[in-house]
Amino acid sequence: MPSTRIPCKMWGRMWGKMMARHPSNKLTALAVKKQTTPGRYSDGNGLYLVVDPSGAKRWLQRLSIQGKRCDLGLGSTRLVSLDDAREQALINRRVARAGGDPIAERNHEMGLSMPFKDATLEVYKANLPVWSNEKHAKQWLATMENHVFPKIGAKPVGSIQSTDILAVLEPIWTSKPDTAKKIRQRLNMVINWARGKRLYTGDDPIKMAELSLPKTKQSKNHFKSLNYDGLPSLFEEIAASSATTQSKLALQFTILTCCRTAEVLNSTWDEIDLVKAIWTIPAERMKAGEPHIVPLSYTALKVLKKAHVLRSASELIFPSPIDDKPMSDGTMRKLLQKTLGVDATVHGFRSTFKDWASETTNHPNEVSEMALAHTIGNKTEAAYRRGDLLQKRRELMQDWSDFLCSKNSKVIRLEKGAAYGSHT
């Protein structure tokens, strides 16, 4: 068999041709420093100097990773020298040729150097523009600062394990189930973000941790509510109480409209249309992120009339009498629980309204659900229900008002859908 060995001189010529086709080290440190014209300049072996229109300079490597062409950023020329860029590019090429993924390896290394707290703050900043409720955003971060950062805030996000998650959740899992549930969801957001950035690999630590946590009973009533039978008397007691007029009016208006506390306390006069007897709450203040029109009953309009007499320079309907800022969340709760001694929450009146509407009236369920501004769970139903049922909701809210004032009003039903009689 003839020899297949290639003479050294021939090897030299072949290598020279290959190097001629794929020249390397074409750039110099001085050239990199002086280059200011926007464009992409090759150093060879897939390494490029990129000069952006802004004048910023950075390194870019083009290589094939597992059969797919990819561009891999290697950093700014201010931080990475030409020699360092070449060295990193060579390492990346070796990893890619061996069938590995240098991008995944680099991201994994970043995950092992990024503290969990920093990853959480990145998630917070990313979601802040889409969170319509400022209070929710503050509470989201506060729970992480209070319960998570002290335990695992300094740990690298790429090294989080189920034992770390347990260290956060176990102390509050049964004693504060609602808080624990929220924190679990927020931990999940951070881990999913890290997965998307390929900063975290491996099994889901949250699911693994939950296997070691005891099962908890789901709370059926998040907010204590009052039986509707006692509400007319309570409505009368609110008016007769020793609380400030502003707080009494605010609580009565909240009960009459079945709205959430924050929606009422941040309401402004420009949202009220007295001619049409409606209150339009803007989308940014609604939990579902959609504007909500509230039909105003006769009594609700009377409450607004009394509030208008007390109107100050503030545009708020129920400002604090101290500084004209929104009344605090605890003002109405204090009136209800401490002044009147009622074992219920302000938010619980929404549940009371729902019970009253379901058990004592013939109003359809969808009308009371829309009065509460609840989102429609059924997507098909949501697609077909395009109206706001305003007229039907107006009749429902007037019936609710009449019921609340039945202790001191003579209510005369004229006919279905018509106005009501004497409202004192």
How far is it, in rounded angstroms, from Cα 408 to Cα 412? 13
Structural domains counted in the chain: 3
Query: What average pLDDT does this structure show over 93-107?
Result: 69
Query: What average pLDDT does this structure show over 323-347?
Result: 87
pLDDT of res. 14? 53
- Say which residue, 250 or 421, is predicted with more confidence: 250
How far is it, in rounded angstroms, from Cα 51 to Cα 90? 22
In a domain, 92, yes or no: yes
In this structure, the answer to whether residues 232 and 353 fall within a common structural domain is yes
In the numeric block, which tokens belong to residue 377? 């769970």
pLDDT of res. 421? 36
Query: What average pLDDT does this structure show over 227-232?
Result: 87
In a domain, 377, yes or no: yes
In this structure, the answer to whether residues 236 and 324 fall within a common structural domain is yes
In a domain, 201, yes or no: yes
How far is it, in rounded angstroms, from Cα 344 to Cα 398? 24
What pLDDT band is residue 412 in, cutting at 50, 70 and 90? very low
- Domain ends where: 175, 210, 245? 210
pLDDT of res. 253? 95
How far is it, in rounded angstroms, from Cα 86 to Cα 48? 10
- Say which residue, 263 or 65, is predicted with more confidence: 263
pLDDT of res. 111? 52
In this structure, the answer to whether residues 306 and 181 fall within a common structural domain is no
| Three-state SS letters, the chain | CCCCCCCHHHHHHHHHHHHHHCCCCCCCHHHHHHCCCCEEEEEECCEEEEECCCCCEEEEEEEEECCEEEEEEEEECCCCCHHHHHHHHHHHHHHHHCCCCHHHHHHHHHHCCCEHHHHHHHHHHHHHHHCCCHHHHHHHHHHHHHHHHHHHCCCEHHHCCHHHHHHHHHHHCCCCHHHHHHHHHHHHHHHHHHHHCCCCCCCCHHHHHHCCCCCCCCCCCCCCCCCHHHHHHHHHHHHHCCCCHHHHHHHHHHHHHCCCHHHHHCCEHHHEECCCCEEEECHHHCCCCCCEEEECCHHHHHHHHHHHHCCCCCCECCECCCCCCECCHHHHHHHHHHHCCCCCCCCHHHHHHHHHHHHHCCCCHHHHHHHCCCCCCCHHHHHHCCCCCHHHHHHHHHHHHHHHCCCCCCCCECCCCCCECCCC
pLDDT of res. 413? 34
- Tens digit of each residue's pLDDT (9 = 90 or more) over 128-178: 887 766 777 888 998 899 999 999 999 888 888 899 999 999 998 888 888
Do residues 33 and 39 make contact, with C-beta atoms less than 8 angstroms apart?
Answer: no
In this structure, the answer to whether residues 262 and 136 fall within a common structural domain is no
In a domain, 323, yes or no: yes
In this structure, the answer to whether residues 94 and 129 fall within a common structural domain is no
In a domain, 307, yes or no: yes
In a domain, 14, yes or no: no
In this structure, the answer to whether residues 49 and 195 fall within a common structural domain is no
What's the full length of the chain, in residues?
A: 424
Query: What average pLDDT does this structure show over 56-62?
Result: 84
Q: Which residue has the tokens 């609710």?
A: 400
- Tens digit of each residue's pLDDT (9 = 90 or more) over 255-306: 999 999 999 999 999 999 999 999 999 988 888 778 899 999 999 999 999 9
Say which CATH number the domain at 43 has: 3.30.160.390
How far is it, in rounded angstroms, from Cα 29 to Cα 25? 10
- Tens digit of each residue's pLDDT (9 = 90 or more) over 175-223: 888 888 889 999 999 988 888 877 787 788 888 888 888 876 654 444 5
In this structure, the answer to whether residues 305 and 348 fall within a common structural domain is yes
In a domain, 111, yes or no: no
What pLDDT band is residue 83 in, cutting at 50, 70 and 90? confident
Say which CATH number the domain at 377 has: 1.10.443.10
Q: Which strand ranges, in their side-by-side order, compose the sheet holding 272-273?
A: 272-273, 278-281, 292-295
Of 40-44, 215-219, 293-297, 402-406, where does mean pLDDT reach its minimum? Answer: 215-219
How far is it, in rounded angstroms, from Cα 225 to Cα 351? 6
Do residues 398 and 420 make contact, with C-beta atoms less than 8 angstroms apart?
Answer: yes
User: Over the chain, what is the mean pLDDT?
Assistant: 80
In this structure, the answer to whether residues 269 and 395 fall within a common structural domain is yes
Burial class (CB in 10 A: 0-12, 13-18, 19+), 262: middle
- Say which residue, 423 or 280, is predicted with more confidence: 280
- Say which residue, 386 or 93, is predicted with more confidence: 93
Say which CATH number the domain at 197 has: 1.10.150.130
In this structure, the answer to whether residues 277 and 151 fall within a common structural domain is no
Of 27-31, 294-298, 368-372, where does mean pLDDT reach its minimum? Answer: 27-31
pLDDT of res. 299? 95
pLDDT of res. 384? 42
Answer yes or no: is pLDDT of 377 > 80: no
Residue range of the domain that includes 273: 228-404
Answer yes or no: is pLDDT of 408 > 60: no
In the numeric block, which tokens belong to residue 376? 């429609």
In this structure, the answer to whether residues 159 and 263 fall within a common structural domain is no
In this structure, the answer to whether residues 379 and 314 fall within a common structural domain is yes
pLDDT of res. 191? 87
Residues in contact with 202: Cβ distance below 8 Å, sequence separation at least 6, in sequence order:
none
In a domain, 8, yes or no: no
Answer yes or no: is pLDDT of 424 > 70: no
Query: What average pLDDT does this structure show over 292-321?
Result: 91
pLDDT of res. 169? 92
In this structure, the answer to whether residues 180 and 316 fall within a common structural domain is no
pLDDT of res. 278? 94
pTM higher than 0.75 = no
